[in-house]
């Protein structure tokens, strides 16, 4: 029986116009199926959430999600927890606001698979762990950014690139390859953090951004940094 997921507010302005929801990863462990707020996969997303909050200033509500269980249980997945979090955020804010999902590893997979939810406007999937059969539903106007380190040995960059190619036929999708980046995103962490935060804020608030994300917004599909 999974425990309850938790929605953690990072910043909730008085009158936000949009929402960023940050989703962690974390493989399953037979000896410890519970999610700990101190596990590395959870802690790794805190700087990204805080950076989004700083860039969004008083216009953007930012939440982090703690999943109900570690890993990906087919009976109740991190995508189910992400949908739960979207509902709870709407309850807290009193309405469903345009939302960017920012997820790492299995959280990136959950974010992609929730791209079709009504309030989701954009998805930033960082080193997403994917199955070859995954095919997100991206509504008209939605935008997908996949950011993957070239030296990731846990989640396949080739598989995420293949998904980007499949999606590119009918959706706005860009793929950024981070040279030398690994799965934990510790090496070149500033690049991962900055790109994810800038993409979230740019797609939700239409704020000026760096050259790389400007290229994404202009429709460039394949970028190396």
Long-range contacts (CB closer than 8 Å, 24 or more residues apart) made by 35-44: 35/3, 35/66, 35/67, 35/68, 35/69, 35/70, 37/66, 39/70, 40/184, 41/104, 41/105, 42/66, 44/104, 44/184, 44/185, 44/186
Give the helix/strand (H/E) hosting 23: strand 18-23
The pLDDT assigned to 29 comes to 67
The pLDDT assigned to 211 comes to 95
Segments making up each domain of the chain, as ranges: 6-224
**Phi-psi group of 15: left, alpha or beta (phi > 0 → left; psi -120 to 50 → alpha; rest → beta):** beta
**Helix residue ranges per DSSP H, 15-137:** 40-43, 46-56, 78-93, 106-113
The pLDDT assigned to 2 comes to 54
Confidence (pTM): 0.95
pLDDT tier for residue 32 given thresholds of 50, 70 and 90:
low
Sign of CA dihedral 142, 187, 71, 38: negative
Could you report how far apart the first and last alpha carbons of the chain are, in Å? 42
CATH number of this structure's domain 6-224, picked from the four choices 3.40.50.1820, 3.40.605.10, 3.80.10.10, 3.30.70.1290: 3.40.50.1820
- Decide: residue 96, CB within 10 A, 0-12 exposed, 13-18 middle, 19+ buried: middle
For the record, the structure tokens of 60 come out as 């953007």
The pLDDT assigned to 12 comes to 97
- Phi and psi at residue 25, to the nearest 5°: -105, -150
pLDDT per position as a tens digit, 166-200: 999 889 999 999 999 999 999 999 999 999 999 99
């Amino acid at each position: 029986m999974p425990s309850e997921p938790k929605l953690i507010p990072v910043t909730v302005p008085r009158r936000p116009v949009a929402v960023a929801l940050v989703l962690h990863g974390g493989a399953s462990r037979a000896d410890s199926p519970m999610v700990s707020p101190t596990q590395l996969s959870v802690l790794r997303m805190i700087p990204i959430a805080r950076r989004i909050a700083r860039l969004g200033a008083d216009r953007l509500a930012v939440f982090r999600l703690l999943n109900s269980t570690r890993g990906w249980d087919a009976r109740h997945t991190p995508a189910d927890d992400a949908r739960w979090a979207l509902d709870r955020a709407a309850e807290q804010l009193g309405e469903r606001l345009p939302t960017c999902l920012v997820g790492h590893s299995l959280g990136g997979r959950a974010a992609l698979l929730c791209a079709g939810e009504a309030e989701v406007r954009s998805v930033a999937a960082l080193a997403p762990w994917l199955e070859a059969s995954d095919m997100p539903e991206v509504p008209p106007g939605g935008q997908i950014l996949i950011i993957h380190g070239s030296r990731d040995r846990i989640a396949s960059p080739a598989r995420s690139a293949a998904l980007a190619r499949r999606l590119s036929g009918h959706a706005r999708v860009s793929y950024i390859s981070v040279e030398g980046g690994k799965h934990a995103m510790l090496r070149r962490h500033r690049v991962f953090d900055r790109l994810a935060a800038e993409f979230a804020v740019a797609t939700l608030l239409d704020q000026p951004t760096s050259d790389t994300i400007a290229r994404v917004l202009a429709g460039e599909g394949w970028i190396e940094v």
